[in-house]
Amino acid sequence: MEILMEFLDLKLGNAVIRFQREFELSQDGIVGPKTWNALAPYINGYIVYTIEKGDTLYKLANRYSTTTNAIITANPNINSNNLLIGSKIIIPFSSVVFTDISYTSTILYKNVESLKTIYPFLEIGTIGRTVIGNEIPFIRFGNGSKKIFYNASIHANEWITTPLLMKFLEILCKAYVNNVTIFGYEPANLFNDVSLYIVPMVNIDGVDLVTGNLSTTSNFYTNAEKISSNFPDIPFTSGWKANIVGVDLNLQFPADWDRAKEIKYAQGFDKPAPRDFVGYGPLTAPEAIALYNFTIENNFSLVISYHTQGEVIYWQYQDYTPEESFNIAQNFSRVSGYTLEDTPYESSFAGYKDWFIYKYRKPGFTIEAGSGTNPLPISQFDTIYRDNLGILVLGMVQ
Ligand SMILES: [Zn+2]
């Protein structure tokens, strides 16, 4: 797997040659169709297999280190007692979502498509497009009437929150298929009671800038570099939080936006910036508009917006916080070890959760996961996942 990791980090060349050697392909270091075909299953997390004489699900599951249950889930129309020779089936591997590499939009799109292939009961779709025109995907788990919404990576250099939600979704699906509890809860009950909507990467363009997935010769890159040069104290690209044209998406929502503007302009963020520029009006950035419209369409009963860092939970907005929020926040704090915080005045307005609470008077949370300097290193992933699993499950049952 190490070779694959290098490949996905786009350190091509040697990694590809080593891969070709291992798989007995011609060692030219070029990702031609043969090399791609050999690599693809590892990136996809599954293979498309053509049934041969003598195959049984049990034999195939053993050969590919998976389970018959996983194969049947991915192929709901299969007759396991009568596999048709020559027909094609999906054979899933044990893990899809990468949690040890920089999580770019390329990987996100791959992983979303793979999860949908392996777990066909998921619904996938798009909430809109970014400035550059990238689709912003959503994924739904469950058929329940209660709608819950988690989103991540509103801020570019907080992208570790994307694999957090993606890995949680994968583990949730796996628990559901294998009928094992997740954080003490029956996944079948969660599936029937709740519709969990996840938007794992709101600020796709910004994440690609920070993770090196945006070409340094593209106009969007050079424009971002120019914006950044007005703010020399903020490192480029690691200090970048905004969307690709310098609007901070978490200062775009109609909840005292004018007050946010006053505060941020006074701090010198009065034009496009790597962070803290509210925009020239509320809801001008396409990513913020998409999030806003998606929320309005769905009438969620609870939302969580994932950020980094600080290991704290923000749960209030002015005088609008509903009564039940405090209890839920306390439960989140108990299972994560994170601290409940009052929002500091200078970041009190125009955020997504602020607007959600203001508009619906329902529980909305901003969770600052992990600790250190953004972007947090991916080596912190396991700690962040462990600390937040309880929150992610409890959020569904409030
Ligand atoms: Zn943030």
- Domain end: 46, 64, 92, which one? 92
Kindly calculate the radius of gyration of the chain based on its CA atoms and give it in whole angstroms: 22
Per-residue tokens: 367: 């969770």
Under 8 Å between Cβ of 35 and 42: no
Burial of 109-134, coded b for 16+ CB within 10 Å and e otherwise, reads ebbbebbebbbeebeeeebbebbbeb
Cβ atoms of 118 and 46 closer than 8 Å: yes
Q: Are residues 346 and 373 in the same domain?
A: yes
With H, G, I as helix, E, B as strand and everything else as coil, classify residue 17.
helix
Coil, strand or helix: which one is 88? strand
Domain boundary among 92, 118, 143: 92
Among 252, 266, 222, smallest CA distance to 355 is for 252
CA 372 to CA 309: how far, in whole Å?
7
Q: In which domain, by residue range, is 168 found?
A: 105-206+284-397
Q: For residue 113, is it within any domain?
A: yes
CA–CA distance, 273 with 191 (Å, rounded to integer): 42
Q: What is the CATH number of the domain that holds 86?
A: 3.10.350.10
Is 162 a domain residue?
A: yes
How many C-beta atoms lie closer than 10 Å to residue 1's C-beta? Answer: 8
- Say how far apart CA 209 and CA 203 lie, in whole Å: 10
- Which helix (H) or strand (E) is 86 found in, with range? none
The single-letter DSSP state of residue 378 is G
Rounded-to-5 percentages of helix, strand, coil across the chain:
45, 15, 40
Helices (H) and strands (E) in the chain, counts: 15, 10
Provide the whole-model pTM: 0.92
Could you report the per-residue pLDDT of 380-391, keeping only the tens digit for each?
999 999 999 999
> What is the distance between the terminal CA atoms of the chain, rounded to a whole angstrom?
39
Which sign, positive or negative, has the C-alpha torsion 123, 128, 130, 134?
Answer: positive
In a domain, 65, yes or no: yes
- Domain shared by 187 and 313, yes or no: yes
CA of 197 to the centre of ligand 1 (A): 20
Look at residue 228 and tell me if it is in a domain.
Answer: no
Residue 271 in domain: no
352 Cα–ligand 1 center, Å: 11
* C-alpha distances out from residue 38 to 55, 61, 267, Å: 22, 19, 53
In the reported structure, the alpha carbon of residue 276 is separated from the centroid of ligand 1 by a whole-number distance in angstroms of: 10
DSSP 223-286: HHHHHHHT-TTS-TTTT--S-TTS--GGG-SSSSHHHHHHHHHHTT--SS-SS----SSTT-SH
Residues 85 and 139 in one domain: no
6 and 149, same structural domain?
no
Count of residues in the chain? 398
Secondary structure of residue 138 in the 3-state scheme: strand
Domain assignment present for 263: no
CATH number, domain containing residue 198: 3.40.630.10
Residues involved in catalysis:
368
**Rounded Cα–Cα distance for residues 314 and 353 (Å):** 9
Q: Assess whether 157 and 302 both reside in one domain.
A: yes
In angstroms, what is the span from residue 308 Cα to ligand 1's centroid? 6
264 CA → ligand 1 middle, Å: 15
Residues 72 and 110 in one domain: no
Q: Answer yes or no: do 176 and 310 share one domain.
A: yes
**Residue owning tokens 């990694």:** 15
My answer on whether 144 and 288 are in the same domain is: yes
42 and 115 in a single domain? The answer is no
Residues of the chain with pLDDT under 50: 1-3, 5-6, 9-13
| pLDDT score, position 9 | 45
**Does a structural domain hold residue 372?**
yes
Is residue 309 reached through a cis peptide bond, with omega within 30 degrees of 0 on the bond before it?
yes
Residues 84 and 11 in one domain: yes
Q: CA-CA distance, 223 to 98, in Å (whole number)?
A: 30
Of 64, 92, 120, which one is at a domain's C-terminal end? 92
| Contact predicate 173/119, CB 8 Å | yes
Angle between helices 161-178 and 105-118 (to 10 degrees): 10
Asked if 62 and 122 sit in the same domain, the reply is no
Amino acid identity at 220: F
Peptide bond into 343 cis (omega under 30): no
Q: How many domains does the chain have?
A: 2
Q: How far is CA 19 from CA 31, 93, 107, in A?
A: 10, 19, 19
Check residue 11 and give its pLDDT: 41
CA of 365 to the centre of ligand 1 (A): 12
Instruction: With respect to residue 20, please indicate whether it lies within any of the assigned structural domains.
Output: yes
CA gap 19, 5 in Å, rounded: 11
Pair 72, 167 in one domain = no
